[in-house]
Amino acid sequence: MRPLEGIKIIDLSQAYAGPFATQNLADHGAEVIKIERPGAGDQVRTWKPIKNGESGFHVMLNRNKKGMTLDLKQEDGKEILRKLLADADVIVENYKLGVMDRLGFSYEEMKKINPGIIYANITGFGINGPLAERPCYDIVAQAMGGIMDVTGPADGEPTKIGPAIADSYTGAMLCIGILIALYRREKTGEGCHIDVAMVDTMISVLDHFLIDYTINGEINSRSGNNDQAIAPFDSFRTKNGMCVIACGTDAMFEKLCGLIGRPDLLEDERFSTNVNRCNNYGALKPELEAWTSEKSESELENILVNAGIPFGNIQNMEQLANNPQTKARNMLWEVDQPGMGKVVVTGTPIKMSYEEDKLIKAAPSLGEDNDIILSALGYSQNDIIGLKEKGVI
């Protein structure tokens, strides 16, 4: 038995952040009913990569879910949602602020249908504040949440982090919030409203960049791959590419100086402590790179890993996908997706000792489970045909 079996989630969310949250819950056994617009479906269905007209993004974010279409602007569609809510545990949505209220599904209205319901929503800026009603996507959240200002080369422009981390981090935070709310309900019997904002999430992961300002009034600029709080903690040139080396303690730096034959660096006051190394990193990096640039990546890996110093190759997607460690951790799942055939998507990083780490169900086609879900709610076959004719489903 999977740990979340018996938990029923109504997923009205689309795009990335909300579906990422519910995907993680579905991976561990929750029954997730993904509701999409009739005809069009979730916008993510149009996002690359596309194979045979199907989106890999959709496959990744909506595996293990049931699929249903529903027009919530029609009264029949609203009535179906009310019936779904009656025995649901959680409803998730990421509409613009006010949409659910206008549809007649505010948290207060939902509680009348199901007092124990957990209403979880993601917005760009949260449900209050002067920017609450603004629309948002990942790049907007990275920009306004401070991430872009501290990312990129020192002499370059503010840079978005490659993956959509505002979406995925916010989805992860919503997932945590849902689990907290479910645990609280076990003890109190009460549901709640969970409000998670993308910009808030980006602020929460700014680590030293923000507290340098709040504590010391310092505004740190971009510094490429160098970590401004720890040194050396950076990328370095090698004979045949690039690598990263991370010395998180003075003891590690002392060991590194011994490996490169530079004990004199330890005697230099500029490099004697982590704080001093950070303050004088412009002088330290060339000394270290003079050594790394004379060796290949494989040579450096052998020397540093054997010495217990954190080292990493900068892997491209081909190298990552074929790395034995990736395979050993089962971080790539093969999905037999209708319309696409066998495709590979990212697996879950949450490994449990008591359950097998595997995919259960491919992502649903648009409205795939309409008939099954509606029949379970008491709708006859003629009722379902009528709903289709009216465009409700």
Identify the CA nearest to 167 among candidates 136, 144, 131.
136
| CA gap 175, 292 in Å, rounded | 42
Beta strands, E only, 247-319: 311-313
Q: In which order are the strands placed within the sheet that holds 31-36?
A: 66-69, 31-36, 8-11, 90-93, 118-123, 192-197
> Under DSSP, is residue 291 helix (H, G, I), strand (E, B) or coil?
helix
Is the distance from CB of 230 to CB of 248 less than 8 angstroms? yes
Beta strands, E only, 42-137: 50-51, 54-55, 66-69, 90-93, 118-123
| CA gap 62, 369 in Å, rounded | 14
Give the Å distances, CA to CA, from 277 to 54, 199, 231.
51, 32, 6
Side chain identity at 167, as an amino acid letter?
D
Is the distance from CB of 323 to CB of 315 less than 8 angstroms? yes
For residue 270, give both structure tokens. Answer: 């500029």
Give the Å distances, CA to CA, from 258 to 228, 251, 261, 262, 296.
24, 11, 5, 6, 19
Give me the catalytic one of 167, 207, 268, 371.
167
Does the active-site annotation cover 167?
Answer: yes
Give the Å distances, CA to CA, from 234 to 224, 254, 273.
9, 17, 17
55: which strand partners?
50
Give Cα 33 distance to the centre of its chain: 20
Tell me which residues are annotated as active site.
167
